[in-house]
Amino acid sequence: MSKNFPENFVWGSATASFQIEGAAKQYGRGASIWDAFCATPGKVEGGHTGDIACDHYHRFEEDVKMMKELGLQAYRFSIAWPRIQPDGKGEINQEGIDFYNRLIDCLLEHGIEPWVTLYHWDLPLPLQIEHDGWLNKDIVDRFEKYSGICFENFGDRVKNWITLNEPWCAAVLGHGIGVHAPGRISSSEPYIAAHNMLLSHARAYRVYKKDFAHQEGTIGITNNCDFRYPLTDKAEDIAAAERSMEFFLAWFADPIWKGDYPAVMKEYVGERLPEFSEEEKREVFGSSDFFGLNHYTSMLASEPSEDDNLVSDIAGNGGMIDDQKVFLSDDPTWEKSHMQWNIVPEGCGDLLKWIAARYDNPIIYITENGCACDEPSAEIADNDLMRKNYYESYLRESRKAIETGVDLRGYFAWSLMDNFEWSFGYNRRFGMCRVDYETLERKPKMSARWLSQTIAQNGENI
């Protein structure tokens, strides 16, 4: 069987607005919840902020040229909502529209297809302060308006849209355990925020299909998920692994692909899990043209015993551990990235097959996949063998999944360049291109050069 990936397989890289743009207080951009979170002492390592980040706002032409030299066919980036609507609900900031128009036009001039994410966590701060952000159902109407502004201004050239990036993280890390903006801690808020995110996603999808169908694009949502292997072949551990997957991915995917929340979540969460009305079910069901997947790692799942310490932390499953009643652990033979995430290539292939089986083999794009490496010097960064091997092994397992019938159509490496890594600041390196934070010089690393060769050969070197 050919080692090539399918014809027209999309090869790209991805970024997020807050992590790279900078110009946080310029050109009419309003404040976001992440600006406020960064300004709160102790919330971000080193007191780092996104004020300058990679200065992509001023250097995007340089960055696009670098993408072209690497042979990237597509670039997934997010639009900063507060750069478009500074307060999240009122007047349009024309300077923000102009910036993204320049970026989109530059990409197309270099033969790179833009893939645009409408929301990658940088909620306009006034929506949080004045209206409780994702906890207020009014945000559905506001997201609809914001989405329409983007479709109207960019949709003549943008043909690939993602509504929300990783709503699990925004809900759980932002509203469950408080390690992401807006920094709230609650056992009920994650479910409310997630519910309103799903409704907002569906509304944006329906508006696009109704009012912008003439643009002839596709639109979907991107969810993140680790894979869960059962610790043993005992029935209770197998059930725990499946339950963990349902609390992680099916929480957001089932309403879209199957029509409602998983039954196990209704049972375990009870009245804290909001209910969809029949009209909402119809609006959410089928509201994605493809299955966007961000995947990085895998863990072992088992039925908890009395001796297991169910600590709710970012390394496990956030504030959902107590609800799902699953104990998570590692195989000691697994290599770890410098985020202490397990490197388990087989988990990527098995997750793709899990999605295909549960959701009737949808079109899938891996919209993020990457590895954090400790790079204390420029020389070590430029020779990022761990990241190169990570990409290669995960892509190999992805190709194997395709050979079994999984309809995987694209891969976006995370991330294009070193950037602001949320609560870790600039202390975790995911970039395949190095950024010198004193000079802001960019330079492709070994992994970028390897991916460039892979794209040119459509995977023959894997």
Does 421 show up as a binding residue in the annotation? yes
Catalytic residue selected from 166, 189, 375, 397: 166
- The confidence band for 312, taking pLDDT boundaries of 50, 70 and 90, is very low
Does 296 show up as a binding residue in the annotation? yes
Is there a domain that residue 2 lies in?
A: no
CATH classification of the domain holding 349: 3.20.20.80
Domain that residue 345 falls in: 10-457
What's the pTM value of the predicted model, to 2 decimals?
Answer: 0.97
Helix (H, G, I), strand (E, B) or coil at 186: coil
Active site includes 392?
no
Rg of the chain in Å (alpha carbons)? 21
What mean pLDDT do residues 190-199 have? 98
**Cα 300 from Cα 237, distance rounded (Å):** 9
- The confidence band for 305, taking pLDDT boundaries of 50, 70 and 90, is confident
Burial class (CB in 10 A: 0-12, 13-18, 19+), 52: middle
Does 414 show up as a binding residue in the annotation? yes
Does 136 show up as a binding residue in the annotation? no
Does 422 show up as a binding residue in the annotation? yes
**Residue 375: pLDDT over 80:** yes
Strand order in the sheet with 227-230: 227-230, 298-302, 327-329
Is there a domain that residue 236 lies in?
A: yes
* Beta-ladder partners of 335: 343
Domain count, the chain: 1
The per-residue DSSP string of 18-73 comes to: HHH---TTSTTPPPBHHHHHHTSTTSSGGG--SSSTT-HHHHHHHHHHHHHHHT-S
- How high is the pLDDT of residue 316? 45
Is there a domain that residue 218 lies in?
A: yes
Is there a domain that residue 462 lies in?
A: no
Catalytic residue selected from 21, 242, 368, 397: 368
Does 95 show up as a binding residue in the annotation? no
Is there a domain that residue 135 lies in?
A: yes
The token pair that represents 373 in the structure block? 């490496």
Is there a domain that residue 295 lies in?
A: yes
**Cα 78 from Cα 165, distance rounded (Å):** 9
Is there a domain that residue 4 lies in?
A: no
DSSP 87: T
Condensed to tens digits (0 to 9), the pLDDT of residues 6-56 reads: 999 999 999 999 999 999 999 999 999 999 999 999 999 999 999 999 999
Condensed to tens digits (0 to 9), the pLDDT of residues 42-54 reads: 999 999 999 999 9
Question: Which runs of consecutive H residues, i.e. helices, occur in 234-337?
Answer: 235-245, 251-257, 263-269, 278-284, 321-324
Is there a domain that residue 85 lies in?
A: yes
Active site includes 91?
no
Does 120 show up as a binding residue in the annotation? yes
